[in-house]
Amino acid sequence: MSLEAVARKDFQDAVRSRWLLGLTAFFVLLVSVVVYLVRPGEGQTLSTSALLGSVFIRDALVTTLIPLIALVVSYNAVVGERETGSLKLLLALPHSRSDVVFGKVAGRAGAIAVPVSVGFLLPALVAAIGPLSLRPFTFLGYILLTLLLSAAFVAIAVGFSSAVSSNRLAIGGAVGLYFLFVPLWGAIQFPLRLYLGMGGGPSWLPISGSSLLELLRLVNPTGSFKIVSGEFVTGTLFAAGQAGSQAAGQYATSTELLAFGMLMLWLLVPPLLGLLRFEGADL
């Protein structure tokens, strides 16, 4: 119950702030621009799969912008109150430190869910009157997967915020984590992919080169999201076929399950690690 109280207060404080209104308008504008850019020709309709699978939605908006917003919104969730002294007042109430950490994760994830949901739904409903052939189940499912991705990055930021003692460290951590997971991860994989593709790779590795590349993709929450969301949009998620089979999708069911599991790990492990450091911290 204490966790719920912390989450509710954190969510309500965020909803009352002006940044939420601005972020909602920003998302509505961005998705509207994307719908306009990928609109079909005269007399044609735009499928839901084509819209959600477009490079504008998947790469430019979801896996690039949403992690940044989640990290920026959440980096000072705990350490900000720690520096202002309000954390002592919060802990003076019947809240444990675990209530604070996981309540902050739930509250910030819920706050980000509002602009993301409205930003996707409003332009889609407008476009459905015109060029978009809307599949409601697919569209709503994609939004839920996007919210899972944003919640994972919120959890990463809150976990880091719980572990450090100053806003400066929290800002540095948020910036570093963003660059690691978004632009640098692909830069790291590209030369490695070329090396392994030419038959390279140390013989002492217990896994093959292709398995290593797959593991690197899965470890990154954006990579796991792309696997799950891509298969979901095309209707081949958990098709129980062999990897590479067009009828069963691009990935095997085991890979899709691992991708889901990795997203859940990112949702739980960073706050737990942050809590371990936070429990012993002198406020």
- What is the rounded average pLDDT of the residues 197-209? 62
Q: Say what the pTM is.
A: 0.89
- What is the rounded average pLDDT of the residues 116-132? 81
* Distances from the Cα of 164 to the Cα of 108, 156, 158, 280, angstroms: 18, 13, 10, 12
pLDDT tens for residues 213-235?
Answer: 788 889 999 999 999 998 898 88
pLDDT tens for residues 50-97?
Answer: 788 888 888 888 999 899 889 988 888 898 888 888 888 888 878 888
Q: Indicate whether 245 pLDDT > 70.
A: no
Among 119, 113, 120, CA closest to 154: 113
